[in-house]
Amino acid sequence: MKTFLKILVPFLLGAVVALFGIYSINNLQIFENGDTKINVTVIKNSFGDIAELTTQQYEFSDMGKYEQENKKLIGDIRIPFTGKYFVISYDGVVKAGIRDITQAKVELNDVTRILTVTLPDVEILDAYTDPNSYETLDETFNPFNQITPADVAELLKAEVDSHVEQAKADGLLNSAREHAARVVEAHVKALLTGTELENCTVNVRWE
């Protein structure tokens, strides 16, 4: 079994900074002296352009076995050719991040000049296997009890559920939380650049 974490931050960070650079140019008000005005409402509303934020993904390659024994007739006597099994290899992904970042709260302390962003916690956003990666390694050819798509789906669901738990155990949510905070902090600082709040300290917290 092969698994590894893939960080999406470099791409996301560039995309977020570029996106919100455009957002700030189009949406902020300008003072007569040339300073740019921004407030917590503008910052909070800017999260609407992100909505769901995926910051970490866990990729895996594995194989799974489905087995159904021959059916019993009397006692321990089993009917031949009524069982089935197959072995399939596959690749998959578990993604983690913030489901709805528009639920973030933004507060500014005018005295300390600290801008606090409180984020909803990260969670598993998606988990799936890639159909193009499927390879059957072994299987029965039983005319009385054939392998069905439902059998394959049942096996793969169990395999995905297992990898979701493994991803959590390997620290996927902690990594997603760490990188989400970095992306949000970079986004907010980009919005504040050139404004009256440019020198504020940005503090990212979790609910």
- Give the structural domain span for 89: 8-187
Each residue of 112-151: pLDDT tens digit?
999 999 999 999 999 999 999 999 999 998 888 889 999 9
Q: Would the pTM count as exceeding 0.85?
A: no
pLDDT tier for residue 98 given thresholds of 50, 70 and 90: very high
> Is residue 4 predicted with pLDDT exceeding 70?
no
In order, the DSSP letters of 160-201 are: HHHHHHHHHHTTHHHHHHHHHHHHHHHHHHHHHTTBTTTTPE
Place of tokens 């990594």: 175
How many domains is the chain partitioned into structurally?
Answer: 1
Determine, yes or no, domain membership for 205: no
pLDDT of residue 2: 56
200 in a structural domain: no
Q: pLDDT tens across 50-82, in order?
A: 788 898 999 999 999 999 877 766 667 777 667
- Domain membership of residue 202 (yes or no) is no
Average pLDDT on 38-53 reads 84
CA separation for the pair 60, 123 (Å, rounded) = 18
Q: Is residue 65 part of a domain?
A: yes
What is the rounded distance in angstroms from the CA atom of residue 48 to the CA atom of residue 46? 5
Q: Please say if the pLDDT value at position 31 is more than 70.
A: no
